[in-house]
């Protein structure tokens, strides 16, 4: 089950402009996958100087462990006077991020959902 779960994670990191890093996650961002991303997050904090854009457009599900790792990443970047931006947030992750009010502290760019009737 754990190996199958890890196969759902697809990570894409690339440099945007000179210093910004775009780091994408696809699949589940939960307790089982947070530990698999810890080393990458450590590298992103230690080896880069610019803003980190965490692309969550491909994340189908996030739980409190995923949220906790985002908040921890935010605190580490803030200590270095760097910014974290959550981009492409939609579906269940968007609802959880809004209900926990994470978007009030961390800059969050939401995708509009096609079935959303709120205008």
pLDDT in tens, 57-114: 999 999 999 999 999 999 999 999 999 999 999 999 999 999 999 999 999 999 987 4
Q: Does domain 2-110 have CATH number 1.20.950.20?
A: no
Contact 2, 35 (CB under 8 A): no
- Give the confidence band of 117 by pLDDT, cuts at 50, 70, 90: very low
Q: Which helix (H) or strand (E) holds 74?
A: helix 64-79
Specify the residue for token string 């961002």.
29
């Amino acid at each position: 089950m754990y190996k199958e779960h890890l196969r759902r994670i697809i990570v894409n990191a690339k440099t945007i402009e000179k210093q910004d890093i775009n780091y994408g996650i696809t699949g589940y961002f939960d307790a089982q996958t947070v530990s698999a991303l810890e080393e990458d997050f450590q590298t992103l904090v230690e080896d880069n100087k610019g803003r980190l854009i965490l692309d969550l457009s491909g994340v189908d599900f996030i739980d409190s462990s995923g949220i906790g790792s985002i908040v921890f990443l935010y605190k580490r970047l803030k200590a270095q006077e760097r910014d974290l931006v959550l981009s492409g947030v939609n579906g269940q992750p968007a609802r959880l991020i809004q209900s926990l009010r994470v978007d009030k502290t961390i800059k969050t760019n939401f995708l509009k959902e096609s079935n959303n009737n709120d205008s």
